[in-house]
Amino acid sequence: MHILLGSNTQWVLLSTLALGMAAGLVGCLSYWKRQSLMSDALSHAALPGIVIAFMLLGQKDIYVLIIGAAISALLGAFFIQWIRSATRISEDTAMGIVLSVFFGLGIMLLTIVNRTVGGNQSGLDTFIFGQAAAMVRKDVRMMTMLAIIVIALVTFLFKEWKIFLFDPGFAKGMGLSIRSMNVLYLGMLVVTIVIGIQAAGVILMAALLIIPPVSARYWTESFKRMMMLSALFGGAAGAIGTIVSVLGKGWPTGPFIVVVSSMIFVFSLFFGAKKGIVTEMLQQRARKRQNEPAWSVAASSTLKEGNQ
Amino acid sequence: MTSHVLQVENVAASYRKNTVLQNVSFQVKPGTLTAIVGPNGAGKSTLLKTLLDLHPKLSGHVQFFGSSYQKMKRKVGYVPQRGSVDWDFPADALDVVMMGLYGQIGWLRWPSRRHRELALEALDKMGMADYSKRQISQLSGGQQQRVFLARALVQNADLYFMDEPLAGVDAATERAIMRILNELKQSGKTVLVVHHDLQTVEDYFDHVLLLNGTVIDHGETKQAFTQENIARTYGGALQWMKGEAFYAHPARK
């Protein structure tokens, strides 16, 4: 446990907490934009950018890698948009194409980098499954700062996001620029993915964006509370996943984060206060009992009396 | 100088390859209640969306209050088709009505108590005061339509566009909505309604716009809503039985 007391770990913990919260919030926006899979496509699409940035620079500088990842993810988003509008291919197919092509390219480049001299010390492998423990102070500061900016943007523009997601046509009539909101949304999605890659990895980052909002949906019928719960679940998954992963040397963080958020999801699925399976079953049973016709109650009581 | 609240000149619009609207020109006077009627695919919804910049127009000019839509946005209210939004969205009726006030509240600001009261008042006007905290997914179709109307009311616009507000609602809701539309008209506001029920056009609306790809006729209901015009709009597939119902015959080639 001594490692948990290290000051570096505490900072890492703070950053994955902030990351989880930002991902929970942005994931909520994706959920109601019906674009959950978009986050998966974009996080996979970030990999080639990271590797190319490393190849160009020859060293692991977090700022450059993040910019590389962002460009690559945005390029992926652009391709998805382009395929959808210029061809007859549907959006989910376009996402599938971009996801696999970009990820394949990224793995190929990564293999090449690892073969070159000194390349295998690059530590780029950690970007696939994520390794929070490998983060240094500079990474942590950057990640936390960007996550806080994302959280602030969602919070301050709360009512704008709400109308943008519920009724964009009406929002436009009220003078809200739908184009700017779309750009901002995509920007926040890419930033969240990019800062999360180091901790959660390109493969599993999407889980942090998809699972918390889905879990939150089982608890509430209010958009505000859904956002807050999603941030809470995401933050908890990020922090607990990090704690577990630093216990063992070289344990990846991404899978632990996913396992924790999945546990939250399964619990929500069954016991969620609004739509949980068990909750609904109990409510249904209570309703049935209430609606039982009076005569059958009366009849059964007379029967009992008769038996005595 | 013009006294028209809406001037449409030669507007055309299309979906992909199909031209839906062509040479659409008409003017609307203030304080009128206009029904836009026409067969399915006549471009009624597209017309509203094109006027409101929600759909690109290929050509033509539109003036709102003698100015551009961009400048007059605040004075224009829009009630989209009920099916255009996801009613599973986590919000209650009051939340949705509050959205109509976002323009007044201003972006980046939080709604105040006064705004809540305005929204509640509008819900009350639509006979929905008891449902303010009800989940929108739990409302019936007619109630959802009333919530949309209430949201338009709080906008306090001068010109309203409504896309089939009377579609699939029961008689009580229809009466409630028509009462509100008449109140709007009495207070000098202008309302354009996409309408599908030809039998009620004469009772409900003082003006009618017959549309099928282009304007067949437009004017006071008494003059424009003639058997001949209806036949021209609906391609002769519909027969007008005075005082009776409509019979739609299958279109023959």
pLDDT (tens digit, 9 = 90+) per residue, B64-88? 998 998 888 889 999 999 888 999 9
Q: Would residue A211 count as lying in a domain?
A: yes
Strand order in the sheet with B59-64: B18-28, B6-15, B59-64
Select the more confidently predicted residue: A1 or A294: A294
Percent of chain A predicted with pLDDT > 70: 90
Across A7-29, average pLDDT:
91
Q: B90 and A221: CB-CB below 8 Å? A: yes
Instruction: Give the C-alpha distances (Å, rounded to integers) separating A16 from A28, B161, B170, B251.
Output: 18, 48, 53, 65
Residue of chain A with shortest Cα separation from B78: A170
Select the more confidently predicted residue: B251 or A54: A54
Handedness of CA B214, B219, B225, B229 (dihedral sign): negative
Of A156, A170, A225, the CB nearest to B99: A170
Q: Is the pTM of this model over 0.80?
A: yes
Q: Is the pLDDT of residue B4 over 60?
A: yes
Beta bridge partners of B247: B239
Q: What are phi and psi of A22, to 5 degrees?
A: -60, -45
Q: A222 and B96: CB-CB below 8 Å? A: no
Beta bridge partners of B202: none
Q: B91 and A222: CB-CB below 8 Å? A: yes
Percent of chain B predicted with pLDDT > 90: 59
A306 band by pLDDT with thresholds 50, 70 and 90: very low
Dist CA B122 CA B117 (whole Å):
9
Whole-number pLDDT of residue A302:
53
Q: Is the pLDDT of residue B100 over 70?
A: yes
Q: Does B99 touch chain A (CB under 8 A)?
A: yes
Q: Would residue A298 count as lying in a domain?
A: no
A288 band by pLDDT with thresholds 50, 70 and 90: confident
Contacts of A215 (CB under 8 A, 6+ apart): A229, A230, A233, A261, A264, A265, A267, A268, A269, A272
Q: Would residue A229 count as lying in a domain?
A: yes
Residues of A in contact with B105 (CB under 8 A): 159
SS3 A126: helix
Whole-number pLDDT of residue B238:
55
Q: Would residue A272 count as lying in a domain?
A: yes
Six-digit token string for A227: 């956002």
Q: Is the pLDDT of residue A233 over 70?
A: yes
Q: Domain tally for chain A?
A: 1
**3-state DSSP helix/strand/coil % of chain A, to nearest 5:** 85, 0, 15
Residue keyed to tokens 């109509």: B100
Q: B90 and A173: CB-CB below 8 Å? A: no
Instruction: Output the domain CATH number for residue A73.
Output: 1.10.3470.10
Whole-number pLDDT of residue B236:
63
pLDDT in tens, A134-169: 788 888 888 999 999 999 999 999 999 999 999 998
Residues of B in contact with A221 (CB under 8 A): 90, 92, 135, 137
> Which residues in A have their CB inside 8 Å of a CB on B?
32, 156-157, 159-160, 162-163, 165-167, 169-176, 217, 220-223, 225-226
Task: Convert A92-116 to b/e letters by CB count within 10 Å (16 or more is b).
Answer: eebbbebbeebbebbeebbeebeee
B1 band by pLDDT with thresholds 50, 70 and 90: very low
On the 0-12 / 13-18 / 19+ scale of CB atoms within 10 A, A55 is: middle
Whole-number pLDDT of residue A184:
96
* Sequence-ordered alpha helix ranges (H) in B73-112: 93-99, 102-105
Q: Would residue A93 count as lying in a domain?
A: yes
Cβ count near B251 (within 10 Å): 11
B248 band by pLDDT with thresholds 50, 70 and 90: low
pLDDT in tens, B141-172: 999 999 999 999 999 999 999 999 998 888 88
Q: B86 and A221: CB-CB below 8 Å? A: no
Whole-number pLDDT of residue B3:
78
SS3 B15: strand
Of A163, A173, A222, the CB nearest to B52: A173
Range of the domain at A263: 2-293
Residues of B in contact with A228 (CB under 8 A): none
Q: Would residue A65 count as lying in a domain?
A: yes
pLDDT in tens, A109-138: 988 888 875 655 667 888 888 888 778 888
Q: Are strands B238-240 and B214-220 parallel, antiparallel or unpaired?
A: unpaired
A20 band by pLDDT with thresholds 50, 70 and 90: very high
Whole-number pLDDT of residue B237:
56
Q: Would residue A239 count as lying in a domain?
A: yes
Q: Is the pLDDT of residue B250 over 80?
A: no
A1 band by pLDDT with thresholds 50, 70 and 90: very low
Q: Would residue A199 count as lying in a domain?
A: yes
Residues of B in contact with A222 (CB under 8 A): 90-92
* N-to-C CA span, chain B: 47
Within 164-183 of B, beta carbons closer than 8 Å to A belong to: none
Q: Does B87 touch chain A (CB under 8 A)?
A: no
Q: Is the pLDDT of residue A89 over 70?
A: yes
Q: B108 and A156: CB-CB below 8 Å? A: yes
Six-digit token string for A28: 């909520």
Beta bridge partners of B6: B28, B64
A:B CB pairs within 8 Å? 74
